[in-house]
């Protein structure tokens, strides 16, 4: 394609690991269609997302151009493990620093607009200033990328509209609609969102990392007014993560350990990159895991700092005295970065104790792995409802209503036994496996997700 007729995509993520990861997966998919992608952010966050990506051939990024924009330094306070609200307030200074991306982004868009037929800006829905900048060039257009489930987005929008009644909502279990999601976020972050979604009406379409086998009903709901502005378009073409993982040159030691275990026998435990857990709850999890008598891999790391490469002393999370020796051979404690997608895709992995971040949910669902759900903040309580109540491919490890109490080891033990060693758990596993097959079929050459992605590519490439 001649340069003057070229379409380019500019990707603007929120600099938190799950959001960075979603949009880098998206960038790979677009790049595979021979459309240049410009991925923008601070140098430290671009470095972070490239280092942590799994499942893609590292040499397959030649059509992705990373722009390391300079922004002023920002505070990198440690996480507060004892905070009453689990939302990661220590990351807020980093999020606020994204205001400084606006000017270099505007310069990049202007430069691209001089040589490209169309400049397509795909921005995290919170980073709506990118939509404003897209409107300021004559050949620019913006699309909002939702890093939450369609179910979660529907709830957020419905509550913002004052919970109006209409046929789609009325068909949902009324008990679910009455649940309170107070404390999902801090007031400071709500204010940040309010400010940074100021230009959200300027995008011309929305993208979701989900698919019809998972939440077709809710994809259709968010495609209607009042959830989608008249004239706007919507695409759902998840999962964005690879479904046939490209193994790294040197396998992580936990994968070597999984190779020696029986099929579906290992519980994978990880609460993501933004969650801080108190010492008391770490102890409860440790004892609950031990008493459940299930094999496990537990990723035990502090929540990410704003700059994961900042020169700060790593505080090792403490376990009960003698714990690691007692569980040797049964459980593996991992304190470094791990290839989650490859772990979930391993035949020995039979369950996932998770915070239910949407990135983790999508990876687990696409690999057919059932979950024990322990929501911490943000969209996670809603994702938990989807996993446990609607899809029925998971068990509650922790009720959202009990979030202010310290979990008991018995509560955790019971949930893990139910998931990994009960008839109910086996039924969940079968449903998860069947759903995984349907998801992979949707992402196949003739599948619904592929058709949606083709539609998006055709739309942005239109003459």
In a domain, 70, yes or no: yes
Judgement on whether residues 434 and 360 belong to the same structural domain of the protein: yes
> What element of type H or E holds 143?
strand 140-146
Judge contact between 238 and 450, C-beta under 8 A: no
CATH number at residue 84: 3.40.50.2000
Q: What DSSP state is assigned to residue 267? A: E
Sequence-ordered list of residues with C-beta below 8 angstroms from that of 388, at least 6 positions apart, any chain:
373, 394, 395, 396
pTM of the model: 0.93
How much is the average pLDDT of 195-201? 87
Judge contact between 160 and 152, C-beta under 8 A: no
Judgement on whether residues 257 and 232 belong to the same structural domain of the protein: no
The angle formed by the CA atoms of residues 51, 319 and 269, to the nearest 5 degrees, is: 50
Judgement on whether residues 368 and 326 belong to the same structural domain of the protein: yes
In a domain, 236, yes or no: yes
Domain that holds residue 343: 253-440
Judgement on whether residues 144 and 262 belong to the same structural domain of the protein: no
Judgement on whether residues 262 and 113 belong to the same structural domain of the protein: no
In a domain, 237, yes or no: yes
The angle formed by the CA atoms of residues 43, 149 and 91, to the nearest 5 degrees, is: 35
In a domain, 401, yes or no: yes
Judgement on whether residues 232 and 371 belong to the same structural domain of the protein: no
How confident is the prediction for the chain on average, in pLDDT?
91
Instruction: Indicate which residues carry an active-site annotation.
Output: 19, 124
Q: What DSSP state is assigned to residue 388? A: I
CA distances from 428 to 178, 196, 307, 393 (A): 25, 39, 38, 5
Judgement on whether residues 217 and 275 belong to the same structural domain of the protein: no
Judgement on whether residues 232 and 320 belong to the same structural domain of the protein: no
Judgement on whether residues 429 and 449 belong to the same structural domain of the protein: no
Per-residue model confidence (pLDDT) at position 163: 83
In a domain, 85, yes or no: yes
> pLDDT digit string (tens) for 6-36?
999 999 999 999 999 999 999 999 999 999 9
Cis geometry, peptide bond prior to residue 267 (ω within 30 degrees of 0): no
Q: What DSSP state is assigned to residue 386? A: I
Per-residue model confidence (pLDDT) at position 196: 86
Residue that the structure tokens 């999962």 belong to: 239
CA–CA gap between residue 48 and residue 307 (Å, rounded): 9
Give the dihedral of Cα atoms 162, 167, 171, 172; nearest 10 deg: -20
Per-residue model confidence (pLDDT) at position 244: 77
> What element of type H or E holds 333?
strand 331-334
Q: What confidence category does residue 1 fall into, taking pLDDT thresholds of 50, 70 and 90?
A: very low
User: Structure tokens of 72?
Assistant: 């002023």
Judgement on whether residues 224 and 88 belong to the same structural domain of the protein: yes
> pLDDT digit string (tens) for 318-340?
999 999 999 999 999 999 889 99
> pLDDT digit string (tens) for 392-433?
999 999 999 889 899 999 999 999 999 999 999 999 999 999
Judge contact between 133 and 106, C-beta under 8 A: yes
Number of structural domains in the chain: 2
Judgement on whether residues 263 and 224 belong to the same structural domain of the protein: no
In a domain, 187, yes or no: yes
Judge contact between 357 and 383, C-beta under 8 A: yes
Judgement on whether residues 12 and 112 belong to the same structural domain of the protein: yes
Phi and psi torsions of 381, nearest 5°: -60, -35
Percent of the chain with pLDDT over 90: 74
> pLDDT digit string (tens) for 239-248?
999 997 555 5
CA–CA gap between residue 232 and residue 208 (Å, rounded): 14
In a domain, 2, yes or no: no
Q: Is 162 left (phi over 0), alpha (psi -120 to 50) or beta?
A: left
CA–CA gap between residue 145 and residue 130 (Å, rounded): 12
In a domain, 1, yes or no: no
Residue that the structure tokens 């897209």 belong to: 134
> pLDDT digit string (tens) for 96-122?
999 999 999 999 999 999 999 999 999
Question: Which residues, listed in sequence order, are joined to residue 67 by a DSSP beta bridge?
Answer: 40
């Amino acid at each position: 394609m001649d340069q003057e007729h070229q379409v380019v995509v500019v990707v603007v993520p929120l600099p938190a690991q799950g959001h960075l990861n979603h949009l880098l997966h998206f960038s790979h998919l677009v790049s595979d269609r021979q459309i240049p992608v410009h991925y923008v952010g601070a140098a430290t966050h671009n470095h972070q997302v490239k280092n942590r990506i799994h499942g893609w051939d590292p040499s397959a990024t030649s059509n992705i151009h990373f722009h390391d924009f300079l922004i002023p330094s920002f505070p990198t306070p440690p996480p507060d493990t004892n905070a009453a609200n689990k939302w990661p307030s220590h990351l807020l200074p980093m999020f606020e620093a994204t205001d400084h991306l606006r000017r270099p982004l505007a310069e990049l868009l202007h430069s691209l607009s001089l040589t490209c037929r169309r400049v397509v800006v795909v921005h995290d829905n919170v980073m709506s200033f990118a939509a404003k900048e897209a409107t300021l060039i004559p050949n620019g257009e913006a699309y909002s990328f939702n890093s939450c489930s369609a179910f979660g987005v529907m709830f957020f929008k419905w509550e913002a509209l004052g919970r109006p009644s209409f046929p789609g909502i009325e068909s949902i279990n009324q008990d679910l609609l009455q649940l309170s999601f107070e404390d999902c976020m801090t007031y400071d972050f709500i204010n940040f969102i309010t400010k940074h979604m100021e230009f959200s009406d300027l995008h011309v379409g929305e993208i979701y990392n989900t698919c019809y086998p998972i939440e077709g009903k809710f994809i259709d709901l968010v495609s209607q007014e009042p959830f989608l502005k008249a004239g706007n378009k919507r695409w759902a073409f998840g999962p964005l993560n690879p479904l046939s993982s490209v193994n790294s040159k040197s396998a992580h030691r936990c994968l070597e350990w999984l190779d020696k275990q029986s099929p579906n026998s290992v519980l994978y435990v990880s609460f993501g990159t933004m969650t801080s857990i108190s010492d008391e709850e770490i102890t409860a999890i440790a004892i609950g895991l031990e008493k459940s008598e299930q094999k496990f891999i537990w990723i035990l790391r502090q929540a990410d700092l704003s700059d994961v490469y900042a020169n700060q002393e790593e505080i090792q999370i403490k376990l009960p005295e003698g714990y690691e020796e007692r569980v040797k051979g049964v459980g593996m404690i991992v304190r470094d970065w791990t290839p989650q997608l490859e772990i979930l895709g391993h035949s020995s992995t039979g369950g996932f104790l998770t915070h239910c971040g949407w990135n983790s949910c999508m990876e687990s669902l696409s690999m057919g792995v059932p979950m024990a759900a322990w929501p911490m903040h943000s969209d996670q309580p809603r994702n938990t409802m989807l996993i446990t109540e609607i899809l029925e491919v998971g068990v509650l490890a922790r009720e959202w209503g009990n979030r202010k109490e310290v979990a008991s080891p018995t509560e955790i033990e019971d949930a893990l036994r139910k998931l990994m060693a009960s008839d109910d758990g086996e039924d969940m596993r079968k449903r998860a496996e069947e759903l995984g097959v349907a998801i992979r079929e949707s992402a196949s050459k003739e599948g619904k997700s592929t058709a949606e992605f083709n539609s998006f590519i055709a739309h942005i490439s239109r003459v």
